[in-house]
Amino acid sequence: MHTDLSDIEAFLPCRTPDQWVQNALENQEILLIDHANCEKKAASTAINLTYRCTNDFELLNKMSRLAREEMRHFEQVIAIMERRKIVYRHLSASRYAADLRSLVGEGDVDKLVDVLIVGAFIEARSCERFARIAPELDSELCRFYQSLLKSEARHYRDYLVLARRMVSQSVIESRIITISARERWLVESPDVEFRFHSGPVA
């Protein structure tokens, strides 16, 4: 199964460090628990956008579909956890999403554009990490993570398409550059504990 991720690789400012991949292999229980949490948060973000943008039918349709798909992925993750007798316990959130959202601007349009761009980065990074880790995992997890690539890549594109309709191309590119720099720092700098979106943990 091959999904072309060349546009995602071009969009992201860096590759996930090899150390993170090693961390993931050593912490597969946490990987699955935090992945389940990420799917719920992604669905929640999409649903929240449908409340904020009730007059934008393209956004409403894309976010409704995205929320359904993220919750379906959540169901798939917890089914794997149940088969493996992994207890779904509380985990602290990584710094990644909150730190990216700290860059969101003021004003209705600027704020919405930044939220969409941050969403694109989160989806793109998730897709890249699924692709990186899948070949290193057992056959069940490998197949599952590879099966997510197409929808995650579409989610990234949907967020960017929605953002690009709202402001000029120069504004979009400027915001992408700013958020991209922070995203690279979050991905490459050492982190204190492993999470799906953490930096490498020594």
Q: Is the pLDDT of residue 7 over 70?
A: yes
Query: What is the reported pLDDT for 93?
Result: 94
Of all residues in the chain, the percent with pLDDT exceeding 90 is 96
Mean pLDDT calculated for residue range 132-140: 97
> Tens digit of pLDDT for each residue in 79-124?
999 999 999 999 999 999 999 999 999 988 999 999 999 999 999 9
Mean pLDDT calculated for residue range 21-39: 98
Number of separate helices (H) and strands (E) present in the chain: 8, 0
Q: Is the pLDDT of residue 71 over 90?
A: yes
150/155 Cα distance (integer angstroms) = 9
Torsion of CA 143, 146, 147, 153, to 10 degrees: 170
96/94 Cα distance (integer angstroms) = 5
Q: Is the pLDDT of residue 1 over 70?
A: no
Query: What is the reported pLDDT for 4?
Result: 87
Query: What is the reported pLDDT for 139?
Result: 97
pLDDT band at 2 (very low <50, low <70, confident <90, very high): low
Let me know if 130 is exposed, middle or buried by CB neighbors in 10 A (0-12, 13-18, 19+).
Answer: buried
What is the domain partition of the chain in residue ranges? 17-188
Q: What is the CATH topology of the domain spanning 17-188?
A: Ferritin (1.20.1260)
| Residue 170, CA distances (Å) to 93, 167, 173, 183 in order | 33, 8, 5, 20
Mean pLDDT calculated for residue range 21-34: 98
Q: Is the pLDDT of residue 68 over 70?
A: yes
Tokens of 150: 């197409």
The alpha carbon dihedral of 161, 104, 9, 70 has a sign of negative
> Tens digit of pLDDT for each residue in 157-194?
999 999 999 999 999 999 999 999 999 999 999 999 99
**CB contact set of 83 (below 8 Å; sequence gap of 6+):** none
CA-based nearest residue to 148, from 20, 36, 11: 36
Query: What is the reported pLDDT for 108?
Result: 87
118 and 154 Cβ atoms separated by less than 8 Å: no
Tokens of 128: 């890249």
- pTM, two decimals, is 0.96
DSSP state of 136: G
